[in-house]
Structure 1
Amino acid sequence: MDVALWIVAGLLALVFLAAGAMKLTQPKDKLATSGLTWTEDFSGGAVKAIGALELLAALGLVLPAALGVVSILTPLAAAGLVLVMIGAAVTHARRKETSAIAVNVVLLVLAAFVAWGRFGPYAF
């Protein structure tokens, strides 16, 4: 189970590292035209803040445990991503973007799995 948790955490880290970096480096208008239409409902600062949270969570999923330093940050990062995905699903539901909600739910379940495993029976 430990290996499965590492694999899922690594995959989540890759996804959120890319997503967070994109939100931090691209202007809001470019994000909206590239398919992230939900950004129209948020200020540029809010989009950058979401990107920063995703980037920090991605790092928190892997680095603390891999380095053996403050490993409690790994399940906390996963729990934070659960909250981010709840917010994303609510935003997409308001916009009636049901296909995006499915992606949010999958990422939420994977993050919840890591949080459960690392807070509980497979803690470091």
Structure 2
Amino acid sequence: MRIAYWIVAGPLALLYLYGGALKVLRSPDRLRPMMAWVDRVPLPALRTLGGLELLGAVGLLVPTALLAWPAPAAATGLLLLQVGAVPVHLTGGDRRIGLNLVLLAAAAAALWLSVA
């Protein structure tokens, strides 16, 4: 199960490290071409989302042999983040939720594998 966890959690953490860093560091003007929803969210909320994504990624990467709780907590947080992201995309006219659904499934798998 540990190998399966790392197969799921490793790439998931890398995606969230990248996306979180973009949201924290880039201006909304530079994010707009890849994230159409940034104009509907206040800048502090955008930065907070990026910070939460970074924390979730780090939580997935903390070795579970060292501490048992960060991985399931991070996976749960990232799962909830995607549960909230889907309606944001759908209500804004952006119907591209395929990546959100994949990330939601991967976070659910990471959660399950982290407690199994």
Report the TM-score range of the alignment, normalised by the length of the smaller protein.
Answer: over 0.9
What TM-score results when the alignment is normalised by the length of structure 1?
0.88
Please name the residue that 1:22 is paired with: 22
Q: Which runs of 5+ in 2 are unaligned?
A: none
Please name the residue that 1:75 is paired with: 72
Q: Which runs of 5+ in 1 are unaligned?
A: none
Alignment of 1:55 onto 2:51: no
Aligned equivalents of 1:87, 1:64: Cα separation in 2: 27
SS in 2 for 1:69: coil
Aligned equivalents of 1:14, 1:111: Cα separation in 2: 13
The answer to whether the 8 Å contact 2:4/2:113 transfers is no
CA-based RMSD of the aligned residues comes to 1.2
Shift of 1:96: 2.6
Please name the residue that 1:110 is paired with: 106
Identity %: 38
Return the structure number with greater relative CO, CA threshold 8 A, min gap 6.
Answer: 2
SS in 2 for 1:98: coil
Please name the residue that 2:10 is paired with: 10
Shift of 1:70: 2.3
Aligned equivalents of 2:42, 2:36: Cα separation in 1: 12
- Tell me the alpha carbon deviations over residues 39-92 of structure 1, each in whole angstroms, 9 at most, x when there is no partner: 110111100000000001000001242xx3322110110010000001111100
What number of residue pairs does the alignment pair up? Answer: 116
What letter is aligned with 1:13? A
Aligned equivalents of 2:17, 2:93: Cα separation in 1: 26
Alignment of 1:94 onto 2:87: no
Which stretches of structure 1, 4 residues or longer, exceed 3 Å deviation after superposition?
Answer: none
Alignment of 1:36 onto 2:35: yes
SS in 2 for 1:60: helix
Shift of 1:8: 0.7
